[in-house]
Structure 1
Amino acid sequence: MKVIGAGFGRTGTRSLKAALELLGFGPCYHMSTVIAEPYRVRQWLDVGEGRSRDWDTLFAGFRSALDWPASAYWRELAGHYPEAKVVLTVRDPARWYDSVSATIFRSALEQRARPPLRRRVIRWMVARRAPDFALYPRMARATFIDPVFGGRLDDRDHVIEVFERHVAEVRAAIPAGRLLVFEPGDGWEPLCAFLGVAVPDVPYPQVNERAAFRRKRPRRLARLILRGR
């Protein structure tokens, strides 16, 4: 592990994943990795519920890790991989909340409510065909929704306060030479200087995280599962 991402989801982590892989720090572990390989949901459920924290097995084959659920364990990962550098992705807290509340948090809050019949049928099909992925909501609650936010996803002031406190805690805990505080618009120069690599002759990746999230919504996942993919 060469790079540990300490930033919350929805802070430009998809673009940074693409950037790190272009720079030779891939494969990069990301929430999209868990979505693509649902057996990893059980691994994180074991972490979140206190049964196992075998980081070397969990991240085998990866040279970097970003986004939830990994970033919820930034402190443990920084201790376990003392040579790895830490990148804290940040953005304006209010804009971040608007983004996360419309995507990740919205999905989590929908899981708490009694959904319409159609969605309940989709969940049933997912559970039948992909039992590991059916555990995703429980894994998310165990790894970051409850321990990081106390489950209070619809409390804007609380969530923003958690975000700001998290940024302060990472800044205080990680020595300056090991930490890069990185905003989505910063581009290649500060990242490459921090990692000690040359700036590529291509634009910094701009991945639309909201569009990527929409492609993961349960209905689309159910279609793929039912097609045997």
Structure 2
Amino acid sequence: MVEIIGAGFGRTGTASLKRALETLGFEPCHHMSEVLKQPRTTIAWTAALDGDPSVLPDLLSGYRATLDFPGCLLWRELMDLYPSAKVLLSVRDPKQWYDSARATILNPIRNENIDEKLAALLTPFSEAMARRGFRRDLDEAATIAAFTRHNEAVLASVEPSRLLVYEVGQGWEPLCSFLGAGVPDMPFPQSNDSAAFQGNVTRVLTGQAEDLG
């Protein structure tokens, strides 16, 4: 049963947050890395993004949390499906987010070794995400505006008692307080900067990696 709904876009520290949530016991946590490890799930995710939420329970069976794409684009549907789940909106300075996204998720790696069947799955999935608000063909100002609108929609729609607006630089304390969890005796996870992201995605798309997290 999903207990935490991640509403923040990718490149807002979601890879670090995934590890943090799993450290706190909310495991497994769904993240875009899970989609890349299980590319056939893009068929159902594409259906969900195009308006069929009935596929979500099967897609998220066994997961205790969601983060990143594509779940963040379906936060309303997930709130309806899991009415007791808390909502975690990971945020970042918009310009810093754009610069990171432009170097990674807005500039997807193209590799001649990518399997054609994998590309056939990822293309309609990417197009469905664009229809739901994550487009790669916009200029900087329009992309930042879309990012800001998404965050503002979450803030306007989710009850404050159910929502945490969070930056990964804040560390364990606000996250643990929100979730009613003890603060671990360890540093907050840090992972998946832009350079690491590019290498990780390449390994996944060429079948060389088991985990993108």
TM-score between both structures, scaled by the size of structure 1? 0.83
What is the total number of aligned residue pairs between the two structures?
208
| 1:224 alignment partner in structure 2 | 208
Matched, 1:175 2:159: yes
| 1:36 alignment partner in structure 2 | 37
Q: 1:198 aligns with which of 157, 182, 189?
A: 182
Q: Is the CA contact (8 Å cut-off) linking 2:37 and 2:204 kept in structure 1? A: no
Q: Deviations over 1:15-56 (max 9, x none)?
A: 000000000111000000011122212221222344563221
Structure 1 unaligned regions, length at least 5 = 112-118
| 1:147 alignment partner in structure 2 | 132
Q: Deviations over 1:196-221 (max 9, x none)?
A: 01101111111124244213444763
Q: Deviations over 1:91-115 (max 9, x none)?
A: 00001001101111111xx77xxxx
Instruction: Give the 3-state SS of the residue equivalent to 1:180 in structure 2.
Output: strand
Partner Cα distance (1:220, 1:52) in 2: 27
| 1:17 alignment partner in structure 2 | 18
- Percent of counterpart pairs with the same letter? 45
| 2:150 alignment partner in structure 1 | 166
Structure 2 unaligned regions, length at least 5 = none
Q: 1:122 aligns with which of 107, 113, 120?
A: 113
| 2:194 alignment partner in structure 1 | 210
Q: Is the CA contact (8 Å cut-off) linking 2:39 and 2:121 kept in structure 1? A: no
Instruction: Give the 3-state SS of the residue equivalent to 2:113 in structure 1.
Output: helix
Instruction: Give the 3-state SS of the residue equivalent to 1:67 in structure 2.
Output: coil
Partner Cα distance (2:38, 2:207) in 1: 16
Structure 1 residues 189 and 222: CA distance shift in structure 2, 3 A: same
Structure 1 residues 96 and 2: CA distance shift in structure 2, 3 A: same
> 1:152 Cα shift?
5.3
Give the partner amino acid of 1:140.
S
| 2:122 alignment partner in structure 1 | 136
Matched, 1:57 2:48: no
Pairwise CA RMSD: 2.1
> 1:224 Cα shift?
3.1
Structure 1 residues 224 and 180: CA distance shift in structure 2, 3 A: same
Structure 1 residues 152 and 217: CA distance shift in structure 2, 3 A: closer
Which consecutive segments of 4 or more residues in structure 1 shift more than 4 A? none
Q: Is the CA contact (8 Å cut-off) linking 1:46 and 1:53 kept in structure 2? A: no
Partner Cα distance (1:140, 1:174) in 2: 27
Structure 1 residues 219 and 28: CA distance shift in structure 2, 3 A: closer
Partner Cα distance (2:14, 2:171) in 1: 13
Q: More helix per residue: 1 or 2?
A: 1
Q: Is the CA contact (8 Å cut-off) linking 2:6 and 2:66 kept in structure 1? A: yes
Partner Cα distance (1:67, 1:152) in 2: 16
- Is the radius of gyration larger for structure 1 or structure 2? 1
Q: Which region of structure 1 is more displaced relative to structure 2, 37-46 or 171-180? A: 37-46
| 1:115 alignment partner in structure 2 | none
